[in-house]
Amino acid sequence: MKKTSSTIRDVAAAAGVSVTTVSKFINHAQRFSPPVEARVQAAIDELGYRSNPLARSMITGETRTIGLAILDILNPHFTSIVKGANRVALQHDYTLLLVDTEESQDHEQVLIEALAQRVDGVIVSSRMPEQSVQWMLELHKPVVLFGRNHHFPIPSVGTDSYLASYMLARHLLNQGHRSIAYVGFGQSRWNNERIRGVQACLAEQGLSASVYDAQAASPQGGERACSSIMLGPNRPDAVICYNDLIALGFIKAARALGFSLPQDVSIAGFDNVPYGEYASPALTTVDLQSEKMGEIAMLKLIDALAGKNDTEYSLLEPRLVVRDSTMRRAGASASEDASAARAIPIRKGTSR
Amino acid sequence: MKKTSSTIRDVAAAAGVSVTTVSKFINHAQRFSPPVEARVQAAIDELGYRSNPLARSMITGETRTIGLAILDILNPHFTSIVKGANRVALQHDYTLLLVDTEESQDHEQVLIEALAQRVDGVIVSSRMPEQSVQWMLELHKPVVLFGRNHHFPIPSVGTDSYLASYMLARHLLNQGHRSIAYVGFGQSRWNNERIRGVQACLAEQGLSASVYDAQAASPQGGERACSSIMLGPNRPDAVICYNDLIALGFIKAARALGFSLPQDVSIAGFDNVPYGEYASPALTTVDLQSEKMGEIAMLKLIDALAGKNDTEYSLLEPRLVVRDSTMRRAGASASEDASAARAIPIRKGTSR
DNA sequence: GTGAAAGCGCTAACAC
DNA sequence: GTGTTAGCGCTTTCAC
């Protein structure tokens, strides 16, 4: 084990050829006569030579590396995104570099700018308001965003949150729930869409949801939000949480308060994180196709890197996953649910 | 938005100074006369100049970046490690670059070698056998490992798996279980230690665990392993799983097979992932201090980068977390648990 | 205080 | 096929 690693010049000298020959050889850019190739290869093995990617990147201008900034690595929704993005990156011979901005939200921009300098392009999940991401355009690098941006022409991917929450609300209505609460997460981009979806659906029945806010998009946030909602004057019979993590925390806290779930209250979330399935009661949720979001974002970025710049915003379809945390409300007629599918289309005033 | 980003030379020209002055200014390596500093700053703002970290790294030889290779980003155990490592990195002004090797296990070495070239040092969680990590020494970079390596002097961190599984086995014995199965994950480094811990504890009672293997360290692995164990001729009354994910899957599958948990069988895992708490029944597990492992690994690496090279292996203490998935076996006397600490050593030849 | 010049390790014209 | 040369954008002696 040598102290300092050898350079291309060392190899060239050892093999008795020029650096160009070595460079071309290691990049498979050209074939050489068998004796030369043999000598070069021998020298490389001998010296344990490894090409320095930094030096290479400086000239070629590309790092074969893509940056991904996520909001919270502890949230399985984001790890699924990473999984999808990573798989595609690997397939295209890119390395994914991940940054978790949760620990330093104030420095989100700084962190991402620093990341952008070391990679060919970045995929960003951000909490910043849509109108204040101008700086991303000044990165001089391709950027893909999670969530549509109406102010700037940045390619993006997202799942239809409005539709997702509309579906969830409809499901709860169909089950006979009438007093529905929404526990949101105000810092998120998606929160407003989800509120709108719920309210639009309830409005069709002349109803309205009570809107609360969890201070964190985590189980702890849900736990903390629970008591004031469940023990307050307007106890809901169903609760839609901003995400599965909040829902899981809410469930735990509600049980600790003595409620039976789902008999006393139905709970649902968004994301379809893997662990909702193992919770008790198993969590009803909306699958937002996290992994696919990651895949598509990466595909878009790789396309942008290749010069293509056609697609702007890809909208994925949400899928309702009904489990045990939502149940037919006692007193609701059995026919109501069955007729729902037919009933919806003829209703009037469905609009976003 | 300019097409190409400006260089230090552009700034120097615009400010009417030399590149040296600009370089020193941006690195805060030296103060200059107020008018010069003002002009340089103005030029930087004007041109939107950002120093190219690649070019900088080429000269300084450091990237202020640390690589972390984990086995599976979908496993909350690893994301907790990342969380801890990331926090420490940020505090020390380092950026963490993450690589998930799960998607391409065959290329683990290649991936890590590539990563190592772009960072100042790497923290590695590996599935490779201890004796075949010689190549890590030839990276010419500081390396920190998860799990002790007896063959090479590489700094490492780990939680005492032997003790952890011994504790779990003891807990189950105390609850009156006598037929205990271990569902392992043969590909893991830690698996043998865990088997040994369980067997050593049981051996003290003249017992022995049946050892099985889940093919994957995931809920799916646990689900698949369940039926042959629970419906086979030697149905255990308690099952220790290699990790919480396998345990969660096992629980789900066992219920699907019609078993009542924990009445029919107690289940326990390792890691104390956040979602075990929300499962039904809530999962008994051993907290391996994942986040702290990440913190310590990063601390060790930063120390190594600073030239310190004192500590070799840090062993963290496991902590048993008893929840509802393990319960007193019907028929076990109530006094047994309380007196267990004293009673066990003197028992002789208890066998199934 | 400020600047000129020499590279870091590599690739990319362009010769021969 | 193989080699020469000129940099990529930056830091760093070492002069002035």
Tokens of B310: 């004192």
> Across all residues in chain A, what is the average pLDDT?
91
Which pLDDT tens digit goes with each residue over A94-129? 999 888 998 677 888 988 998 999 999 999 999 888
Q: What is the CA radius of gyration of chain A?
A: 26
Rounded mean pLDDT, A185-189: 94
A54:B278 CB<8 A: no
B278:A281 CB<8 A: no
Angle at A68 between CA A62 and CA A69, to 5 degrees: 135
Q: In the prediction, which pLDDT does B343 show?
A: 38
Cβ(B133)–Cβ(B149) under 8 Å?
yes
Find the Å distance, CA of residue A108 to C1' of nucleotide D6: 40
pLDDT over threshold 70, residue A342: no
Residue A210 three-state SS? strand
Residue A36 three-state SS? helix
Q: How many CA atoms lie within 13 A of B115 on its CB side?
A: 29
- Please tell me the distance from the alpha carbon of residue A52 to that of residue A63, in angstroms, as a whole number: 11
Partners of residue A346 on adjacent β-strands? none
Cβ(B126)–Cβ(B189) under 8 Å?
yes
Residue B194 three-state SS? helix
Which pLDDT tens digit goes with each residue over A264-315? 999 999 999 999 999 989 999 999 999 999 999 999 999 999 988 777 899 9
pLDDT over threshold 80, residue B1: no
Non-local (6+) Cβ contacts of B345 within 8 A are B204
Cβ(B275)–Cβ(B248) under 8 Å?
yes
Tokens of B50: 């950002």
Q: Which of residues 33-92 of A touch strand C (CB under 7 A)?
A: 51-52, 55-56, 58-60
- Please tell me the distance from the alpha carbon of residue A273 to that of residue A229, in angstroms, as a whole number: 24
The pTM of this model reads 0.91
Which pLDDT tens digit goes with each residue over B197-221? 999 999 999 999 999 999 999 999 9
In what helix (H) or strand (E) does residue A182 lie, and over which residues does it extend?
strand A180-184
A73:B86 CB<8 A: yes
Q: How far is CA B312 from CA B37, B129, B147, B308, in A?
A: 47, 19, 11, 11
Rounded mean pLDDT, A30-49: 93
Non-local (6+) Cβ contacts of B11 within 8 A are B22, B40, B43, B44, B47, B49
- Which residue segments constitute the domains of chain B, with CATH numbers given? 8-60 (1.10.260.40), 65-159+290-316 (3.40.50.2300), 161-289+319-348 (3.40.50.2300)
pLDDT over threshold 70, residue B83: yes
Residue with token string 């703002």: B45
Q: How far is CA A253 from CA A212, A229, B277, in A?
A: 16, 11, 12
Q: In the prediction, which pLDDT does A349 show?
A: 37
Residue B296 three-state SS? helix
pLDDT over threshold 90, residue A130: no
Helix, strand, coil proportions of chain A in percent (round to 5)? 45, 15, 40
Burial class (CB in 10 A: 0-12, 13-18, 19+), B131: exposed
Any chain A CB within 8 A of the CB of B97? yes
Residue A183 three-state SS? strand
A117:B50 CB<8 A: yes
Any chain B CB within 8 A of the CB of A111? yes
pLDDT over threshold 50, residue A9: yes
pLDDT over threshold 60, residue A1: no
Rounded mean pLDDT, A130-146: 91
Q: In the prediction, which pLDDT does B342 show?
A: 39
Residues of chain A positioned with their CB less than 8 A from the CB of B64: none
Find the Å distance, CA of residue B89 to C1' of nucleotide D8: 30
A117:B90 CB<8 A: no
- A8 Cβ nearer than 7 Å to chain C strand: yes
Share of chain A above pLDDT 90, in %: 79
Residue with token string 């509802």: B324
pLDDT over threshold 70, residue B239: yes
> Strand order in A238-241's β-sheet?
A210-213, A180-184, A238-241, A266-271, A284-287, A319-321
Any chain A CB within 8 A of the CB of B60? no
pLDDT over threshold 70, residue B237: yes
The amino acid present at A38, given as its one-letter code, is A
- B64 Cβ nearer than 7 Å to chain D strand: no
- A33 Cβ nearer than 7 Å to chain D strand: yes
| Best mutation target, B7, B8, B90, B98, to test chain A (most A CBs within 10 A) | B98
Tokens of B134: 């010689």
Q: Is the bond leading into A236 cis (omega within 30 degrees of zero)?
A: no
What is the number of other CB atoms lying within 10 angstroms of the CB of residue B183?
26
Q: Which of A80, A96, A275 sits opposite B275 (nearest CB)?
A: A275
